[in-house]
């Protein structure tokens, strides 16, 4: 440890909490209701599965180091040039890569207090100071959500990157596109603003649209997207970053050449083309999200508004026994103590039967 750079010395390795693999062994195939990781309970497009099988003939070959076909498809889908797209081993890799490239000693990172945990990690791994900006209050319309004014106030002369998730994990909250445009026009042009749109496919509020069209106005903007959520391909680990070609070119200098694997490239291209499947997932999630939020609220629980595929639920008391009770009944939530929210659990919106089993288990635990 003493040999590591100071930022890394203070870090601890990722703690997955529960041993899911061991837990699954105790249940019949598919019987465990896994609502801890904001995965897509509906699964990927059948076309993506077929593309993976097809790609297996070429497993002895390296994947395309430039991910050309998928980059072109993503560029076309967002109205951009392929030079504005870089692929990652999940968007997680790209979030970390930006820390490595743009932050560092004396070049800090700003994110919201309850922003996605990887932003602080990206700062620490780069040896960069991390400044959390206070979140919105609990009784706000967007409880614990991003406070764009507080984020602006936290930006200083040494700030290199501001990371914002919209909508945000773990809160599920969001801000509208007009507010983001205003924020971008007020942030100094030498600060990189990363808008993480991991959950954008799940958004139903018409006031929240992708930040991608703002790239034309703000060269210091980068937008990340992922195939892990709406496209249901978390197991393949593919994400992308959309930005100014100059910014992408700098990131390309340190990107590992074969960071996206062969089945991943093939499957994501197929998934991107299957508009019908994505539309179905979005519809199902919107219906189930509303029904689950209503059912939880009806039980007197505080449910944060969400534009994602998960709900942050505040039990108003230590949530650890609730978590343990759910797990004992074969339902896996995500504890929030690591985020400084020990009274909350985060629950992925499942398919209808999973949500029913969640509510049943919760009723037993809370009885
Ligand atoms: N951003 C946010 C806000 C997330 O919640 C996640 C995953 N939980 C990611 C990025 C990373 O996702 P992936 O690496 O699978 O693309």
**Structure ipTM:** 0.99
pLDDT at 13 over 90: no
**Is 80 exceeded by the pLDDT of residue 17?**
no
CA of 249 to the centre of ligand 1 (A): 23
For the Cβ of 90 lying below 6 angstroms from any atom of ligand 1, the answer is: yes
What residue numbers bound the domain in which 328 lies? 6-44+276-366
Give dist(CA 38, CA 279) in Å, integer. 18
Pocket test for ligand 1, best of 228, 234, 334 (most atoms within 8 A of CB): 228
pLDDT tens for 125-156 read: 999 999 999 999 999 999 999 999 999 999 99
Q: Tell me, what's the pLDDT at 10?
A: 83
Using the atom order of ligand 1, give the atom closest to the CA of residue 168. Answer: 3
Percent of the chain topping pLDDT 70: 100
Please indicate, yes or no, whether residues 210 and 291 belong to a single structural domain of this protein: no
| Residue among 229, 264, 307, 334 whose CB has most ligand 1 atoms within 8 A, to mutate | 229
The pTM is what? 0.97
Last residue of a domain, one of 252, 273, 294: 273
Atom of ligand 1 nearest to the CA of 170: 5
Which residues, 6 or more positions from 349, have their beta carbon under 8 angstroms from its beta carbon? 35, 41, 285, 288, 289, 292, 309, 310, 311, 355
Interval 226-258: pLDDT, tens:
999 999 999 999 999 999 999 999 999 999 999
Same-domain check for residues 240 and 281: no
What are the structure tokens assigned to 61, written together? 């070959």
Last residue of a domain, one of 230, 248, 273: 273
| DSSP helix/strand/coil, 341 | coil
Mean pLDDT, the chain, whole residue set? 96
- What is the CATH classification number for the domain harbouring 229? 3.40.640.10
Tens-place pLDDT, residues 218-231: 999 999 999 999 99
What is the tally of structural domains in the chain? 2
Give the residue from 273, 301, 335 where a domain finishes.
Answer: 273
Same domain, 282 and 179: no
């Amino acid at each position: 440890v003493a040999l590591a750079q100071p930022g890394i010395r203070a870090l601890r390795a990722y703690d997955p909490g529960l041993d899911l693999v061991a837990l699954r062994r105790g249940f019949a195939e598919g019987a465990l209701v896994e609502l801890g990781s904001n995965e897509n309970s509906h699964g990927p497009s059948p076309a993506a599965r077929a593309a993976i099988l097809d790609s297996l003939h070429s497993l002895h070959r390296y994947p395309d180091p430039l991910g050309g076909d998928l980059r072109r498809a993503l560029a076309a889908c967002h109205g951009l040039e392929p030079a504005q797209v870089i692929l990652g081993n999940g968007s997680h890799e790209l979030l970390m890569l930006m820390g490595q490239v743009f932050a560092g000693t004396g070049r800090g990172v700003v994110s919201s207090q309850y922003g996605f945990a990887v932003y602080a990690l990206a700062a620490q791994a780069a040896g960069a100071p991390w400044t959390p900006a206070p979140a919105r209050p609990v009784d706000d319309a967007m409880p614990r959500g991003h406070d764009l004014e507080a984020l602006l106030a936290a930006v200083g002369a040494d700030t290199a990157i501001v990371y914002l998730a919209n909508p945000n994990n773990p809160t599920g909250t969001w801000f509208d596109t007009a507010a983001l445009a205003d924020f971008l026009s007020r942030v100094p042009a030498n600060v990189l603003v990363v808008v993480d749109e991991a959950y954008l496919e799940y958004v139903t509020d018409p006031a929240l649209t992708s930040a991608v069209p703002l790239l034309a106005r703000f060269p210091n903007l980068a937008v990340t997207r992922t195939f892990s959520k709406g496209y249901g391909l978390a197991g393949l680990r593919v994400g992308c970053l959309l930005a100014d070609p100059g910014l992408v070119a700098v990131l390309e200098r340190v990107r590992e050449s074969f960071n996206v694997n062969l089945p991943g490239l093939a499957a994501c291209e197929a998934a991107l083309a299957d508009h019908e499947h994505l539309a179905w997932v979005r519809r199902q999630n919107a219906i189930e999200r509303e029904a689950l939020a209503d059912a939880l609220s009806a039980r007197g629980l505080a449910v944060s508004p969400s534009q994602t595929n998960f709900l942050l639920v505040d039990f108003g008391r230590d949530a650890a026994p609730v978590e343990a009770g759910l797990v004992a009944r074969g339902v896996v939530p995500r504890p929030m103590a690591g985020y400084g929210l020990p009274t909350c659990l985060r629950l992925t919106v499942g398919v209808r039967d999973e949500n029913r089993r969640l509510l049943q288990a919760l009723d037993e635990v809370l009885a």
